[in-house]
A and B are shown apart, each in its own frame.
Chain A
Amino acid sequence: MSWLFELFRRKSNEQRLDSELRFHLEQQTKDNIAAGMSPEMARREAAIELGGLEQIKEECRDERSGAWLGHISQDIRFGLRMLRKYPTFTAIAVLSLAIGIGAATSAFWLFDAIFLGSLPVPSPQNLQLICWSGSDTHFRLYFNAIGEPDVPGRKSGSSFSKEVFFSLRKQCAAQADIFAYGPLFCKTARAKGKSVLVEGGQIVSGNFFSGLGVRPLLGKLLGPEDESATGTPRVVISYSLWDRVFGLDTSAIGQQINVNGTSYSVVGVLPRDFTGVNPGSRVDLFVSLSPNSSPTPDMPAFVWAWPDGCWLALMGRMMPGVSNSQLKAVLDVSLISAVGTSITKPAGLIVDGHDGAAWSRVDFRNKLRLLLAVVGVVVVAACVNIAGLLMARGAARQHELSVRKALGAGRWRLFRQLFTESALISLLGGGLGILLALWGRIAVSRFLNGTPEGVQFGTPLDLKVLGFALAITVLTMFLCGILPALMSTSTDPKYGLRNRSAVGAPRLRAGKILVAAQIALSLLLVTGAGLYTRTLINLDRIDPGYAMDHLLFLNLDPGLSGYTGPRTVTYYENVQRSLSAIPGVQSAALVSYPLLSGVNWKYAFTIPDLPVDRKDTSAQQLIVSENFFATIGIPILNGREFRASDRDGTSKVIVINEAFVRKFFSGRVSVGRTIKSGDDVLQIVGVCRDTSFIDIKKAIEPTIYFPYRQSSNGSSSFALRTAGSPISVAEEARRVATAIDPEVPVTDLRSQVQLRDQNIATERACARYYGSLAVFVLLLSCMGLYGLMAFDVTRRTDELGIRLALGATPHQIVGPILQMALLLAFAGLVSGLPLTLALTRFVRASLYGVTASDPMTFLGSVTLLVMVMLVAAWIPARRATRVDPMVALRRE
């Protein structure tokens, strides 16, 4: 602890050192006088003999223990003083680093949460996902539960039917405890008398929680007895739902939650960090697998019980001492008997499940990788900019540094001093960056899945993320600090003292290189942002085949309130009549789901007289009312549209689109032909124009339209064509629909434009996110170039003054400065182009209507950059022409 003691004694030490040396000088002077010198001469000789007083003091201080600490605290105090002295510089530097570090940290945070984490359960390494592969498949229903593991040359998947799951669980019991989970789409959820927002639900097997090893925070979890229990089914809720609906009140246990028309009683609450087993999504409620489990009320329960109806993901906890190959051997055998004919030559597939199924989030992974690369570029650009600014400032401080050197400061000491200043900037930037990351995380997660809620994950700010932020901060510290500190301390003090204005060709050259590098990075980001903007413009311009404005959708689910068969049809007829009567509504039509909402159902059929290879096939299906085509504005090209008389009991009819005709009837007139599905024979009565109604970005698929009176259906939507703004009639529409039967929930009131915007939300978020990063980096390069040019003008004030005095025109002064700026821009662009071309390839998949090397976008970016750079250089250039020759000459 002696160094600490020394630190406190510093003051008295300083005084003592001073009097010790002063005593020496006095003695020497006295002796010199005794030797016969004049007093003045004696003092001079003594001082010369001793040498530089301050230098000796500095060396003495260095010898003392605790000196390093003293120096550091001194450096920091001095550094802070310098930062306060140049507030604009400090603010710009700290803020640009904070934005870079914040963006990088928030991106890493999500990457960590989704791909680097483990499920918050005991021994996650013992969890395995059970998947399958086969040479061919035939399923009546296949819901992709997680994703498809990559198996070359074979089909593969991760979903199983209920029957196969029960069989595998029994037969593999000695090797692993296999449990299942599937989706529960919560179309309606009500608790405590009002409707609640549920993020997602899951149907899980009775051994799900025991297999995972999750323990309840409150109450108890589901068990094997729930799979066959009668009476009110039970539900386990997430911490988030407990908070939002029950305000963390323990009385939640025993209360009722109604989901899709079924009442469940709450038995337990899950720990806060458990948000389900699929990374990047949150599950709010878990209900048990049962004989009549149905993930969505849109389809009847028996469909989900088909032996070849796959919708459950399987995970297993390995029994102690059992290897993966042992489990696979049993799995292979069990699958053959369990899957029947739905999978040909089936084989088991065991995939590491410690992180849920993070591998399946390929979409997130690619986006996050790209994002990490881009924010990496941003951080580097910020560092380069700060290094440039520091270097210019170091040059401007040449005089001060030379004075300090002459007064005895060593080069290492000055280096440390300057480095401390930049390190302080980095640390401040890092601290602010972490705060920004807290906010940026939400922005990034929105960017990932394109919804306002963003990706859900429970990972709090942990040490790994903080460590990453710190590592980046230290990296920036060296990136921006070392070079400027080295360069600024390399000048000979004699030189620095003689020239008030800093001169140094090599310094300016380094600055030029940095500015060119910044321009190159700007080109990359500006082009990327340009490509996404073009994508967005293209998406905005897509014509789905009908007018999107003045169209409102709402969803009704009479099935949940006990409507069946003819009663449902009567209900829908009443609703349609009432909605059409609303002032401002031109027409109202039924449609099975809102257009462009991303929902799609496939319909499997056969065409009797078609070649064998195309016999078994499927198309999109849409169930509509008779005036649907008129309401949406889809022209019937051939035949007729539906009539109210197309009802149960009459011959079944369908309308198809052009894509269907092209694919299955080679474009020939097809009205009057029939298709078959099971025992049903359906006659084609009309052909309508192609319209995009699932995903505006994708090609239009063959589609079959069914009249709703001939199709059994649960929930339906209504499309309203309005005279004015669709949102203005939304409340009236809800009131009217509710008035017909208050028991039927009216949900999802959205305009077609809102639905379209949601459909392209990811692209919009990309364009916005990359756009703002590009503007930021462009601003940085502007500052860099401006700083360099301003510095150059300051440096050459004297020269410019003389030239002006000698009659140089402003044009002759401005010309060379702009020329240099153009040269730098050119150098940056030339080095940036190959880099940009190489990197934009990676975003090809997420672009629409524009290639990754789109010449227009590249040309635009280059033009923009050159113009911005010219403006940045023009301001200091203009200042150069205003130099007063007298001022410049007087300084000389």
Chain B
Amino acid sequence: MDTGKSDLLQGTLDMLILKVVAMGPIHGYAISKRIANISKDVLQVQQGSLYPALHRLENRKWLTADWREAESGREAKFYTLTAAGRKQLEVEELDWERLATAIRLVMRTVQ
């Protein structure tokens, strides 16, 4: 396992989760489905890392969770973005923009 790569992925995964949860309360399974859908199946969330990430974000008070009835009628754990989470999302979006722009610039120049 290459740790450098997983670190980058982990940070990105956190941002993606925050972004998806920002659209409204949602449970873990739906988060993985939605990320796959929106990215047209390019981003396959490793489910092994999805749940630890959710617990991490919850522990950092960026997400709160409560148990509600899902569409199937079963009880499921729904995650909601907190005010701190929203702020964190903005910070990460900004960082991401900056990074993406920088990478684009480099790629274009070199071409």
Please state if B59 and A56 are interface contacts (CB–CB under 8 Å): no
Quick one: CB contact mask for A59-92 with B, threshold 8 Å, 1 for yes? 1101111000000000000000000000000000
Q: Chain A residues with Cβ under 8 A from B54's Cβ?
A: 60
Instruction: Please report which residues of chain B, range 18-72, place their CB below 8 angstroms from some CB of chain A when the two chains form the complex.
Output: 27-29, 33, 46-49, 51-56, 59, 67, 70, 72
- Residue of A with least CB distance to B56: A63
Please state if A51 and B48 are interface contacts (CB–CB under 8 Å): yes
Instruction: Point out the residue from B46, B56, B72 that lies within 8 Å of A27, measured CB to CB.
Output: B72
Instruction: Point out the residue from B27, B48, B56, B77 that lies within 8 Å of A16, measured CB to CB.
Output: B77
B58 CB, nearest partner CB in chain A, Å: 8
A18 CB, nearest partner CB in chain B, Å: 11
- Residue of B with least CB distance to A46: B47
Instruction: Point out the residue from B33, B46, B52 that lies within 8 Å of A60, measured CB to CB.
Output: B52
Interface residue? B76 (CB, 8 A): yes
Q: How many residues of B contact A (CB 8 A)?
A: 22
Q: Chain B residues with Cβ under 8 A from A20's Cβ?
A: 27-28, 51, 76-77
Please state if B47 and A50 are interface contacts (CB–CB under 8 Å): yes
Instruction: Please report which residues of chain B, range 63-100, place their CB below 8 angstroms from some CB of chain A when the two chains form the complex.
Output: 67, 70, 72, 74-77
Q: Chain A residues with Cβ under 8 A from B52's Cβ?
A: 56, 59-60, 62-63
Instruction: Point out the residue from A31, A49, A64 that lies within 8 Å of B47, measured CB to CB.
Output: A49
Q: Chain A residues with Cβ under 8 A from B56's Cβ?
A: 63
A541 CB, nearest partner CB in chain B, Å: 73
Please state if A27 and B29 are interface contacts (CB–CB under 8 Å): yes
Tell whether A23 pairs with B48 under 8 Å between CB atoms, given A60-B55, A63-B55, A64-B59: no
Please state if B76 and A23 are interface contacts (CB–CB under 8 Å): yes
Please state if B75 and A21 are interface contacts (CB–CB under 8 Å): no
Instruction: Point out the residue from B33, B48, B74, B75 that lies within 8 Å of A56, measured CB to CB.
Output: B48
B110 CB, nearest partner CB in chain A, Å: 38
Please state if B77 and A23 are interface contacts (CB–CB under 8 Å): yes
Assembled-state Cα–Cα distance A20/B33 (Å): 16
- Residue of B with least CB distance to A57: B51
Please state if A24 and B59 are interface contacts (CB–CB under 8 Å): no
A61 CB, nearest partner CB in chain B, Å: 8
B96 CB, nearest partner CB in chain A, Å: 22
Assembled-state Cα–Cα distance A16/B33 (Å): 21
- Residue of B with least CB distance to A66: B59
Assembled-state Cα–Cα distance A362/B48 (Å): 69
Please state if A24 and B29 are interface contacts (CB–CB under 8 Å): yes
Please state if B27 and A23 are interface contacts (CB–CB under 8 Å): yes
Tell whether A21 pairs with B74 under 8 Å between CB atoms, given A27-B29, A63-B56, A64-B59: no
Tell whether A23 pairs with B70 under 8 Å between CB atoms, given A63-B59, A64-B59: yes
Assembled-state Cα–Cα distance A833/B105 (Å): 73
Quick one: CB contact mask for A17-61 with B, threshold 8 Å, 1 for yes? 001110110111011000000000000000001111001100110
Q: Chain B residues with Cβ under 8 A from A59's Cβ?
A: 48-49, 51-52
- Residue of B with least CB distance to A27: B29
Please state if A21 and B51 are interface contacts (CB–CB under 8 Å): yes
Please state if A23 and B51 are interface contacts (CB–CB under 8 Å): no
Q: Chain B residues with Cβ under 8 A from A28's Cβ?
A: 29
Assembled-state Cα–Cα distance A159/B7 (Å): 77
- Residue of B with least CB distance to A2: B59
Q: Which of A31, A62, A63, A65 has the most CB of B within 10 A?
A: A63
Assembled-state Cα–Cα distance A26/B49 (Å): 18
Assembled-state Cα–Cα distance A141/B51 (Å): 91
Assembled-state Cα–Cα distance A513/B65 (Å): 56
Please state if A60 and B27 are interface contacts (CB–CB under 8 Å): no
A408 CB, nearest partner CB in chain B, Å: 11
Assembled-state Cα–Cα distance A28/B29 (Å): 8
Assembled-state Cα–Cα distance A152/B74 (Å): 95
Tell whether A23 pairs with B59 under 8 Å between CB atoms, given A52-B48, A60-B51: no
Tell whether A50 pairs with B48 under 8 Å between CB atoms, given A60-B55, A64-B55: yes
B55 CB, nearest partner CB in chain A, Å: 4
Tell whether A19 pairs with B55 under 8 Å between CB atoms, given A24-B29, A50-B48, A52-B48: no
B52 CB, nearest partner CB in chain A, Å: 4
- Residue of A with least CB distance to B28: A24
Q: Chain B residues with Cβ under 8 A from A51's Cβ?
A: 46-48
- Residue of B with least CB distance to A67: B59
Assembled-state Cα–Cα distance A19/B70 (Å): 13
B45 CB, nearest partner CB in chain A, Å: 10
A30 CB, nearest partner CB in chain B, Å: 7
A70 CB, nearest partner CB in chain B, Å: 13
Instruction: Point out the residue from A26, A55, A60 that lies within 8 Å of B74, measured CB to CB.
Output: A26
Please state if A55 and B55 are interface contacts (CB–CB under 8 Å): no
- Residue of A with least CB distance to B54: A60
Assembled-state Cα–Cα distance A582/B51 (Å): 100
Q: Which of B59, B67, B70 has the most CB of A within 10 A?
A: B59
Q: Chain B residues with Cβ under 8 A from A21's Cβ?
A: 51
B2 CB, nearest partner CB in chain A, Å: 17
Assembled-state Cα–Cα distance A26/B53 (Å): 20
Assembled-state Cα–Cα distance A30/B59 (Å): 30
Please state if B51 and A65 are interface contacts (CB–CB under 8 Å): no
Q: Chain B residues with Cβ under 8 A from A30's Cβ?
A: 72
Q: Which of A24, A31, A55 has the most CB of B within 10 A?
A: A24
Q: Chain A residues with Cβ under 8 A from B53's Cβ?
A: 63
A279 CB, nearest partner CB in chain B, Å: 58
- Residue of B with least CB distance to A30: B72
B98 CB, nearest partner CB in chain A, Å: 27
Assembled-state Cα–Cα distance A24/B67 (Å): 14
A384 CB, nearest partner CB in chain B, Å: 36
Assembled-state Cα–Cα distance A24/B29 (Å): 5
Please state if A65 and B59 are interface contacts (CB–CB under 8 Å): yes
Assembled-state Cα–Cα distance A56/B47 (Å): 9
Assembled-state Cα–Cα distance A20/B54 (Å): 11
Assembled-state Cα–Cα distance A51/B76 (Å): 20
Q: Chain A residues with Cβ under 8 A from B46's Cβ?
A: 51
B63 CB, nearest partner CB in chain A, Å: 12
B64 CB, nearest partner CB in chain A, Å: 14
- Residue of A with least CB distance to B27: A23
- Residue of B with least CB distance to A60: B55
Assembled-state Cα–Cα distance A623/B50 (Å): 100
- Residue of A with least CB distance to B77: A20
Q: Chain A residues with Cβ under 8 A from B28's Cβ?
A: 20, 23-24
Instruction: Please report which residues of chain A, range 404-460, place their CB below 8 angstroms from some CB of chain B when the two chains form the complex.
Output: none
A304 CB, nearest partner CB in chain B, Å: 82
B47 CB, nearest partner CB in chain A, Å: 5
Assembled-state Cα–Cα distance A30/B48 (Å): 19
Q: Chain A residues with Cβ under 8 A from B77's Cβ?
A: 16, 19-20, 23
Please state if A24 and B55 are interface contacts (CB–CB under 8 Å): no
Assembled-state Cα–Cα distance A375/B76 (Å): 63
Instruction: Please report which residues of chain A, range 103-123, place their CB below 8 angstroms from some CB of chain B when the two chains form the complex.
Output: none
Q: Chain A residues with Cβ under 8 A from B27's Cβ?
A: 20, 23
Assembled-state Cα–Cα distance A50/B48 (Å): 6
Please state if B47 and A23 are interface contacts (CB–CB under 8 Å): no
Q: Chain A residues with Cβ under 8 A from B75's Cβ?
A: 19, 23
Assembled-state Cα–Cα distance A31/B77 (Å): 18
Q: Chain B residues with Cβ under 8 A from A23's Cβ?
A: 27-29, 70, 74-77
Assembled-state Cα–Cα distance A64/B65 (Å): 14
Q: Which of B28, B47, B49, B76 has the most CB of A within 10 A?
A: B47
Assembled-state Cα–Cα distance A64/B53 (Å): 10
Closest 4 CB pairs of A and B: A59-B52, A51-B48, A63-B56, A63-B55
Residues of B with Cβ closer than 8 Å to A?
27-29, 33, 46-49, 51-56, 59, 67, 70, 72, 74-77
What would be 12 A-B contacts, judged by CB atoms less than 8 Å apart? A20-B28, A21-B51, A23-B29, A23-B75, A27-B29, A28-B29, A51-B47, A51-B48, A52-B48, A56-B51, A59-B52, A60-B52
Residues of A with Cβ closer than 8 Å to B?
16, 19-21, 23-24, 26-28, 30-31, 49-52, 55-56, 59-60, 62-65
Beyond contacts A20-B27, A63-B56: 11 other A-B pairs, Cβ-Cβ < 8 A, are A20-B51, A20-B77, A23-B29, A23-B70, A24-B51, A50-B47, A59-B49, A60-B52, A60-B54, A60-B55, A65-B59
